[in-house]
Structure 1
Amino acid sequence: MSSGSGGEPDAGRRGVLKLGIGALGLGLAAVPAVPAIGYLLFPTGSKAGEGAFLPAGKRSAFAGAVPVRVDLYADKVDAWNKTPDVKLGSCWVLERDGALQAFSTVCPHLGCAVDFDAEAQKFKCPCHRSAFGLDGSVEAGPSPRPLDSLEVKEENGLVAIRLVRYRQGVAQKEPV
């Protein structure tokens, strides 16, 4: 039977056992809960490369007034995989007055791919005949705004560009 008077030592041991079993149960419940919370919160983190500066190349590759098309890559991470070097988009980079400028290759009208016409010295959308000057300004066509400029950063002879996607078909530059 119980030792001592009124069984109090047994009640104390039972309390410690209850606390221990409760703590063990909470620990076991936390094992699947932590990854589940991470999974639910994952979309709130940064998207693969979007909004971040992505490497574009050496500064020397962009010398001169002829625009250079650059594909921008980043690692894509989802809940199960990490895929290295996924192409996120492209941009045109050119030097004007000693500084680099970058423009999205996506036409602000309907999202077609904008090419550079070296003979005409203009950016042109082949789908709807929008044309843009070397400064990105609209020179012809239905585009509601100039080419979308992208932020350029130079550091230690390397160029990086912040890739941002913008809504098409509107006069204001609205990030998507």
Structure 2
Amino acid sequence: DSLAAEPYLAIYWHRSAAAPRPRAGSGQSAHALVRHARRYMKRYGLRRIFLATNSNDRVELAQVNAKLRPAQYSPPADTALDATAMMSVRAAICSMAPYFVGSRATELTGMILEERVSVFGHAAETGVEMSVDTNQTGDASPPRDPVRPPAVRIDSMAAARHKDEL
């Protein structure tokens, strides 16, 4: 199956080898990732997902794979790529994707977001960082809609003395 056949959401999900698996309600747990992905798929009418991750946690990956059925890059069997080369290929796929969601505050997410705009000409609002989950119910907090900025009311404009007060 080719991702080029229709628009898709690319996700870069960074997992720290040093940190324990986060609980379901924390910022970028497997549960939160699935919620973010489904939200963006619904918002943009997408059916396909590409997942780039450094996770080797079989439980988390099984949960994500069962719920999202993402495409992932695997090199041909006769090709030997080290982990850095593999992530470079995955980052390129994310950069080319029509839509992108990346782990918050990671160097690779920043690079992908920049490359999407400067190299591939995607609109900046089609790529975002995952929001941090702040509630305790296990539900991911909804990210601010990148397409629709917060509304400024006309009556607040008259009372504002500078742009920071809007």
Query: TM exceeds 0.5?
Result: no
Structure with more of its chain in helix, by fraction: 2
Structure with more of its chain in strand, by fraction: 1
Q: Which has the larger Rg?
A: 1
TM-score, normalised with respect to structure 1: 0.26
TM-score, normalised with respect to structure 2: 0.27
